[in-house]
Structure 1
Amino acid sequence: MRDFLDFEKPLKELEERIEKVSKSSSEKKGVPRLLRMLQGQLAKKETEIFGNLTPWQQAQLARHPQRPSALKYIETFCQDFVELHGDRTFGDDQAIVGGLATFGDRTICVIGQEKGQGVKARVKRNFGMPNPEGYRKALRIMKLAEKFDRPIVTFIDTPGAYPGVGAEERGQAEAIARNLFVMARLQVPIVAVITGEGGSGGALALGVADRVLILENSIYSVISPEGCAAILWNDPAKTAEAAAALKMNGAELLKLGIVDEVIPEPIGGAHRDPDLTAQHLSKSIQTHLKQLESLKKDKLVAAREEKFRRMSALADS
């Protein structure tokens, strides 16, 4: 069954009616005509709803429980995926997956934040919130990529790094900072893709890339809309207003130069057609990797540094 968000309820009613009519005997007069009419109403309503999404509605789609995860994309357009485990210091964090895979005609190192599908999997994956050992595992894979001269592709989908006491005791802040430091200087091409929600430093720890791509209904921000509303107004009713003010969706991030490309999704979101979304994503990654692989290593690193320095530039008042 498909989960419906609050603003999708009109679609749920129409889809239930279509399903009921479809099960009716095809011999009944008027059934095919009624079915065509309902399908037309559904298509019109989908265009009406998804053609005018608010930033907060896009944030809800980014968090949709059926949204494809990193492992789904890896399984769809990568071959021979060999997962690597552990940080060689503390343990293996299930919130981050990574390893070696064949992508097109090249071998890549792929790393992704994994929320899991279903309640049990989400608990196992800590709802996509990595501990420091997860970031250290990612760093270990990145260093392997540099050692063997393999490009890196990362998938970002996390509400943020796990803020638990144990995580802080094991050096959460240092682990994130170390990833930022090392990624900025890695001498291999890096492409990062925001596939769901990219929250704060927990997302940026996989996001210091030569090219940063984002799916159409994904979000990327220093804080969640709920957190922003709580801090600025102490009012959860301001969440939608905060989402708009944060400029966290793909279109706004592209204007600001935070991301390099917005990848289209099927009407209704990536979960409505994961395979089509994966096709768009694969094609885009291939294009960017081909461009980056033509650059010399010193120019690659210099361009990456310049890219992020531009984001921090302040206009003279």
Structure 2
Amino acid sequence: MEYLDFELPIKELEEKYLQTIELGVESEVNVNSTIKQIEKKLKAKRKEIYSNLTPWQRVQMSRHPSRPYTLDYIKAICGDTWLELHGDRNVKDDKAMIGGLGKIGEQSYMFIGQQKGYNTKTRQYRNFGMANPEGYRKALRLMKSAEKFGIPVVALIDTPGAYPGLEAEERGQGEAIARNILEMTRLKVPIIVMIIGEGASGGALGIGVGDKVVMLENTWYSVISPESCSSILWRSWEHKEEAASALKLTSTDMKKLKLVDEIIKEPEGGAHKDREAVYKSVAESITKHFESLKDLSAQELVEQRMNKYSKMGVFKA
């Protein structure tokens, strides 16, 4: 089990709890009262820490190495019905952007999303979840296929941003993201967007336009990461916590600003603490939102989606 910096007091109590149990077994001394005291302290400490997370701590939670990634959600939700599709039919198959068909119950969906790696080797293979232009073009190809066959689209967002390399810019990174945003606004099937981890910059927005946008509790969604914001404004990453607060990037902030439609509550300590519960909540949310959209005509869907985004922001004459 890996712990974040602010979780170290919990780690100390959990270790003390296990040591006390071990001591009781080895010495045959009754330590039940001590165990109960530690349990009480542990429960109080967890509540104290997790109910008062700062924006920067939520950013850290979204990056927790044990947190489930896109393929974890898809495989848990769809089971054997998941069929991954590859390639943009132009350059190559971007491993940072995955997509394919799957079912929740009897309903088929086209799933797309960024995929991160679990260790050094797979992180390099997945390019740390940072898609190249061909990744966004693959996503668009799959969305257009879904539209052709009347299949709703589910986008799972978890990326530190689109890949910023020279070769990505040479192949039209900005154009690929802009094209996706344009096409998603007028796609004639329901689009449900789920932010399951990091939602950074245009890399997230490239698959982030939807009829319903949902965030898990300990995720973030912003035009820029706190570190990048800090480096631009203060020429240093040292102000990343201040930047995180100023950016209003948490799920609560997004809901207040009416930029997302729902927040899915996570288990105490984050999504990785009870994966099955989170998978179930995500599947139920997708089904609920699809049910609210499935009877709308293509024209009504597009009009409603356009109106949704037209109303965002504050304008002064």
Shorter chain as normaliser: what TM range?
Answer: over 0.9
2:21 is the counterpart of 1:8 = no
Write the deviation string for residues 220-255 of structure 1: whole angstroms up to 9, x where unpaired. 000011111111222323211110110000011001
Q: CA deviation at 1:68?
A: 0.6
**1:235-246 correspondence runs (5 A):** 235-246=236-247
Question: Is 1:125 the equivalent of 2:126?
Answer: yes
- Following the alignment from structure 1 to structure 2, what is the Cα–Cα distance between the partners of residues 219 and 28? 49
Say if 2:197 is the partner of 1:196: yes
SS in 2 for 1:24: helix
- The aligned residue for residue 33 of structure 1 is 33
* 8 A Cα contact 2:94 2:131, kept in partner: yes
The answer to whether structure 1 residue 114 and structure 2 residue 115 are counterparts is yes
Distance in structure 2 (CA, Å) of the matches to 1:156 and 1:187: 21
User: Secondary structure of the equivalent of 1:196?
Assistant: strand
Alignment partner, residue 67 of structure 2: 67
Q: Which residue does 1:220 correspond to in 2?
A: 221
Where does the alignment leave 5 or more consecutive residues of structure 2 unmatched? none
Q: Distance in 1 between the 2:70 and 2:35 partners? A: 37
Determine the structure 1 residue equivalent to 2:179. 178
Residue aligning to 2:286: 285
Q: Distance in 2 between matches of 1:268 and 1:136?
A: 36
Give the SS at the match of 2:311.
Answer: helix
Give the RMSD, CA atoms, in angstroms.
Answer: 1.2
Tell me the distance in 2 between the aligned counterparts of 1:111 and 1:58. Answer: 24
What's the TM-score once normalised by structure 1's chain length? 0.96
**Equivalent in the alignment of 2:256:** 255
What displacement does 1:21 show? 2.5
Residue 268 of structure 1 deviates from its aligned partner by: 0.7
Deviation at 1:23, TM superposition (A): 2.9
Deviation at 1:194, TM superposition (A): 0.4
The SS at the match of 1:268 is: coil
Q: Percent identity?
A: 50
- Distance in 2 separating the partners of 1:191 and 1:262: 13
The equivalent of 2:44 in structure 1 is 44
Output the CA distance in 2 between the equivalents of 1:20 and 1:92.
Answer: 50
Query: How far apart, CA to CA, are the structure 2 residues paired with 1:315 and 1:273?
Result: 45
- C-alpha distance in structure 2 between counterparts of 1:230 and 1:54, whole Å: 20
Partner Cα separation in structure 2 for residue 212 and residue 315 of structure 1: 26
SS of the residue corresponding to residue 305 of structure 2 reads helix
Whole-angstrom distance in 1 between the partners of 2:99 and 2:31: 51
Cα deviation digits, residues 25-46 of structure 1 (max 9, x gap): 4362232222222122111100
AA at the equivalent of 1:38: I
User: What corresponds to 1:18 in structure 2?
Assistant: 17
How many Å apart are 1:313 and its aligned residue?
A: 4.2
Contact map agreement 2:24 2:30 (CA 8 A) in 1? no
Q: CA deviation at 1:312?
A: 4.0
Structure 2 partner of 1:55? 55
Q: What CA distance in whole angstroms lies between the structure 2 residues aligned with 1:250 and 1:48? A: 20
Deviations 1:46-100 (A, max 9, x none): 0000010000100110111111101111111113100001111111111111100
8 A contact 2:160–2:200 mirrored in 1 = yes
Contact 2:116–2:129 (Cα < 8 Å) also in 1: yes
Output the CA distance in 1 between the equivalents of 2:94 and 2:236.
34
For residues 248-299 of structure 1, give each alpha carbon's deviation from its aligned partner in whole angstroms, at most 9, with x where no partner exists. Answer: 0001100111100011001111111111111111111111010011211111
**Counterpart residue number, 1:105:** 106
C-alpha contact 2:101 2:110 (8 A) present in aligned 1: yes
Q: 2:305 — aligned with what?
A: 304
Per the TM alignment, residue 118 of structure 1 is displaced from its structure 2 partner at its CA by 2.1
TM-score by length of 2: 0.96
Given residue 45 of structure 1, which amino acid in structure 2 is its aligned partner? K
Q: Point out the more displaced range, 110-119 or 133-142.
A: 110-119
Which residue of 1 is the match for residue 152 of structure 2?
151
Is 2:213 the partner of 1:206? no
Deviates more, 1:22-31 or 1:271-280: 22-31
Structure 1 unaligned regions, length at least 5: none
Give distance in 2, aligned partners of 1:255 and 1:300. 24
The 2-side partners of 1:29 and 1:20 are apart by 13
Q: Which moved more, 1:262-271 or 1:231-240?
A: 231-240
Give every structure 1 segment of 4 or more consecutive aligned residues whose post-TM-superposition deviation is greater than 6 Å.
Answer: none
Secondary structure of the structure 2 residue equivalent to 1:311:
coil
